[in-house]
């Protein structure tokens, strides 16, 4: 009967450990969208607890137990959480390190204060229950403490990742080895055992300090990358704003030139030089069609951006179709509109420019219209059928990794901040963006 109670108690402790494990991971990582979170966590907790319980029944070495459970934990986390490899690895290492650190404390506390040796604790009975209960209480405290640390993304380059993984393996295995040897030496050689225990404790503390340093380094690196991305976005939006300024200047020049053109036309009519007049008008129309195809929706930001990209598309032999029906009030500020349409049109133009197949169609289609109580923005363009997708997110195919998905991320942020949603669709050589924004509209806006 006592053995059965011991087995049940050990399983309860294992189960509690994995409850704390998923509590830690869930506070530091995002779930994948297509999973049932409660079901996966429950099954994983029960399954991992049973796996560890069965594994311990074979009495393998602690090193093998650590290695096997770490690999299984990491694989399961990969299926549950939508998080970068190094971040998953980091928090798995933190969890493993905390188990070692707490194990060291819970074994040494009884020996220091009550002169109870580790071997006595391993025999079971009330002492075993007491020490495992102490262990799980201390472990819970450390996990909850870690969970309240601000969660930040970290970035390490490939060489730093390799060094981090290698150092983690060395530190954990050496720490566990020293702890195991110190337990074996007691009570026969207390002096050496105490020195080894102290060394193990200091060893683990130094690695905790190293982990903090790595975390701060990765956090700082990630912050710098995001800052660089924001600077790139600022440059894009500044460029779009400059385009608006240039278009406004061109409109002023055209208005000024129009007086001169009307004077010439009037004079030709008076002199009845109709052939020359027709030739003059054709020449003027051709010039406007090439360089001044102007959009007039009443919104100067939209007019300027669309006009600018129509002109760029024309230069690159790309067909640009548009249908723009604007409501009386837009749900975005001028700056947001500039960034949203600027990124959409820029991405579409870039995709068309990358098409290398002969006789392949190159076109961009932009539709903006109100529908019921929403504003619909639809963009469609041809592309080279090469899509860079990671964790369900579309990335650009630029060589510079820090620019990956920059425009699409900016578009998505603007849409989410406005309370809308965005859907991306791909088919053979076609890329589509559909955006729906909530709209407070009048009866005249409804379709």
Ordered by where they begin, the domains of the chain are: 2-231 (no CATH), 294-445 (3.30.565.10)
Q: What is the mean pLDDT of residues 236-254?
A: 68
**Is residue 401 predicted with pLDDT exceeding 50?**
no
Maximum mean pLDDT: which of 6-20, 52-66, 216-230, 366-380: 366-380
pLDDT score at 400: 43
pLDDT level of residue 422 (50, 70, 90 thresholds): very high
SS3 state at 163: helix
CA dihedral 69, 73, 75, 81 (to 10 degrees): -170
SS3 state at 422: strand
pLDDT score at 168: 76
**Is residue 403 predicted with pLDDT exceeding 50?**
no
pLDDT level of residue 392 (50, 70, 90 thresholds): very low
Task: Give percent above pLDDT 90 in the chain.
Answer: 13
Residue 379 parent element (H or E): strand 374-382
Beta bridge partners of 379: 366, 433
Q: What is the mean pLDDT of residues 7-15?
A: 87
**Is residue 402 predicted with pLDDT exceeding 60?**
no
SS3 state at 390: strand
What predicted TM-score, i.e. pTM, was given to this entire model? 0.53
Are the C-beta atoms of 430 and 387 separated by less than 8 Å? no
Q: What is the mean pLDDT of residues 274-284?
A: 84
**Termini Cα distance of the chain:** 76
pLDDT score at 335: 77
**Is residue 187 predicted with pLDDT exceeding 70?**
no
pLDDT score at 303: 83
SS3 state at 117: coil
Instruction: At 441, give phi and psi (nearest 5°).
Output: -125, 165
Beta bridge partners of 121: none
Instruction: At 8, give phi and psi (nearest 5°).
Output: -60, -45
Provide the CA 173 distance to its chain's centre, in angstroms. 32
């Amino acid at each position: 009967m006592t053995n059965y109670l011991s087995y049940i108690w050990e399983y309860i402790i294992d189960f509690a450990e994995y409850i704390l494990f998923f509590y830690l991971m869930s506070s530091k990582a995002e779930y994948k969208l297509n999973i049932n979170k409660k079901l996966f966590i429950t099954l994983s907790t029960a399954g991992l607890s049973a796996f560890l319980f069965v594994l311990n029944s074979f009495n393998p070495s602690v090193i093998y137990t650590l290695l096997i459970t770490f690999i299984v934990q990491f694989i399961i986390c990969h299926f549950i959480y939508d998080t970068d490899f190094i971040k998953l690895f980091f928090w798995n290492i933190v969890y493993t390190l905390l188990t070692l650190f707490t194990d060291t404390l819970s074994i040494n506390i009884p020996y220091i204060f009550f002169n109870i040796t580790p071997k006595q604790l391993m025999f079971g009975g009330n002492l075993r229950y007491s020490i495992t209960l102490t262990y799980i209480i201390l472990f819970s405290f450390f996990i909850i403490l870690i969970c309240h640390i601000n969660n930040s993304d970290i970035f390490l380059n490939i060489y730093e990742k390799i060094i981090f993984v290698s150092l983690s393996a060395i530190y954990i295995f050496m720490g566990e080895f020293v702890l195991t040897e110190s337990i074996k030496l007691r009570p026969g050689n207390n002096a050496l055992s105490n020195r080894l225990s102290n060394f193990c404790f200091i060893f683990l503390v130094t690695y905790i300090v190293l982990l903090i340093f790595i975390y701060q380094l990765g956090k700082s690196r990630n912050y710098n990358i995001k800052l660089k991305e924001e600077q790139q976005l600022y440059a894009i939006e500044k460029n779009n704003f400059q385009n608006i300024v240039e278009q406004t200047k061109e409109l002023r020049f055209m208005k000024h030139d129009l007086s001169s053109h009307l004077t010439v036309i009037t004079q030709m009519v008076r002199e009845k030089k109709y052939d020359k007049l027709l030739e003059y008008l054709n020449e003027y129309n051709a010039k406007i069609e090439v360089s001044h195809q102007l959009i007039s929706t009443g919104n100067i930001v939209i007019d300027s951006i669309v006009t600018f990209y129509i002109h760029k598309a024309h230069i690159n032999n790309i067909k640009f179709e548009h249908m723009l029906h604007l409501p009386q009030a837009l749900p975005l500020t001028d700056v947001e509109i500039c960034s949203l349409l600027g990124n959409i049109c820029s991405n579409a133009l870039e995709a068309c420019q990358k098409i290398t197949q002969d006789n392949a169609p190159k076109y961009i289609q932009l539709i903006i219209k109100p529908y019921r109580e929403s504003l619909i923005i639809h963009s469609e363009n041809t592309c080279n059928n090469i899509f860079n997708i990671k964790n369900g997110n579309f990335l650009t195919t630029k060589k510079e990794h820090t620019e990956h998905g920059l425009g699409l991320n900016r578009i998505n942020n603007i849409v989410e901040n406005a309370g809308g949603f965005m859907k991306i669709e791909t088919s053979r050589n076609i890329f589509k963006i559909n955006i729906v924004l909530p709209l407070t509209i009048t009866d005249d806006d409804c379709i």
